[in-house]
A and B are shown apart, each in its own frame.
Chain A
Amino acid sequence: MKKKSHFKLLLCTVLVVFVVVLVAETLIVKVQATNLRKEPKFYSPTLAVLKAGENVEKISSQAGWYKVRTSKGLEGWVHSSAVKTKKFTLLAMDKSLKTQATADEVALAGKGFNKQVEEKYKAKHSEINFAWVDRMLKIKVTPKQLEKFLRDGKLGEFGGEQ
């Protein structure tokens, strides 16, 4: 019995070490879409658009930004608020273990409060109007507009008094 628990402890330790080593390497996109940018700036030109759930490899970090490499080999910058370090989950190895809730974003993708729940809610409340919410989401500010606005308004790195 004692040996068994020792074994478990040892096994867990090995796995935890494995997790610690790997989380430093792989990042997963947690927002719907984020830009892979040429430079660590929000108004920097976009190299590619990364979608939710996409994995990228972390190369280095700098003041809230990560330099990353995509699966296609592209290198660029993503902001830390758009990604999370990938957690090691063994859910895939045994279906019987899926009975517990997990904080893992990948395992939960599309599973919680989702479109299906929204549709059900809408069916119950036809008086609640989502049309403007969808219109609101279509309003986009491009990196170019952002840069011009900052530059013209003497804001951010274009400001003098900071």
Chain B
Amino acid sequence: MRASKLKIRVSSLIIITAVLISCASIQEGVEAISKIRLSSSDKEAIVKTTKALRSSFADITEEEEYYIGRAVSALIISKYPVFQNGALTRYINIVGNTVAIYSNRPETYAGYHFLILDTEDVNAMAAPGGFIFITRGLLKRCNDEDMLAAILAHEVGHVSAKHGLRSIKKSRLIDAFKIIGLETAKKFGPEKLAQLTAIFENILGDITEKLIERGYDRKYEYEADKLSVEFGTRTGYDPNGLLDFLETMKDDSSGISKKGWFKTHPSAKDRIDKVKKEINSLKAVPQREAVRTNRFKRAMKNLK
């Protein structure tokens, strides 16, 4: 009895192997194997080897990141008015997208998009998925395109390294993944939708608390600076643009020095020391070009 059962098992294994080898694609493989009768314990064993349970920020899909990023952006825009100037916004978007294509993550679910916030606060923020904000106050401190590119590259660095998603408390993700995993229908039922939306709100709270209120962990800011040097240099921008900007932050005695980037970022001096080391380790440092500074100045006329 046992022997014959084993024979059936072995022969079914051979059949499965043959079917799999002959399949030209995964889809065909799945369809073919689904026709073969296996005990549920065997199926479970197969599945366990081929799929992992979602447990951390790294398991958030691009689409989910996009929806989190949209809501974080809506919260940022609800806090600050938008500076509405088409020409300058287009210019910021092209500089930002230029450094993004030389980043470690050129493509996100819906791409990189940049918006100017109408405030004197010196600030720049990146929501998950590639929604990036820069304030009028920060733009005013930029003297040329290489400086602007360095700041935008710092923000692209936050997106690329998923610092926003890393700020989400793990327990929230585990709860959310459990609800999502249990849902078999295309649409969530009212109870599950309410639970998931409540978690979604808490996730937004985790991110905005860091992004707007307290700032990311210092190590994330240093990492974003390092990535700014890396992406900027790869694009052909002078990474000293970041140093020039940080110099303007040092010993700032203006009334805004307790807000925005001043509040949410490590001290300019510490950052300058680290960025200098990064730049010194480069084999070659691109030079600034007058043509870039000229087009920057033309675009910035729209700021007034």
Taking CB atoms and an 8 Å cut-off, the chain A residues in 18-57 that contact chain B are 18-19, 22, 25-26, 30-32, 34, 42, 52, 55
- Which residues of the other chain, A, contact B29 by a CB distance below 8 angstroms? 18, 22, 88
Q: Are A87 and B68 in contact (CB under 8 A)?
A: no
- Which residues of the other chain, B, contact A153 by a CB distance below 8 angstroms? 98, 145, 236, 289, 291-292, 295
A contacts with B, residue count (CB < 8 A): 82
Given contacts A141-B93, A153-B291, A161-B287, contact A14 B62 (CB under 8 A): no
Taking CB atoms and an 8 Å cut-off, the chain A residues in 54-99 that contact chain B are 55, 79, 81-82, 86-99
Residue of B whose beta carbon sits closest to that of A14: B17
A87 to chain B, nearest CB (A): 7
Q: Are A93 and B181 in contact (CB under 8 A)?
A: no
B contacts with A, residue count (CB < 8 A): 97
Q: Are B97 and A128 in contact (CB under 8 A)?
A: no
Q: Which residues of A contact B (CB under 8 A)?
A: 3, 7-8, 10-12, 14-16, 18-19, 22, 25-26, 30-32, 34, 42, 52, 55, 79, 81-82, 86-105, 108-118, 120-121, 124, 127-130, 132-133, 136-137, 139-141, 145-146, 149-150, 152-156, 158-159, 161-162
**Can you list 23 A-B contacts (CB < 8 A)?**
A11-B46, A22-B29, A31-B62, A32-B109, A55-B25, A88-B30, A90-B30, A93-B43, A100-B181, A101-B54, A101-B178, A111-B180, A111-B183, A111-B186, A112-B61, A117-B200, A130-B71, A132-B77, A132-B82, A136-B113, A155-B292, A161-B284, A161-B287
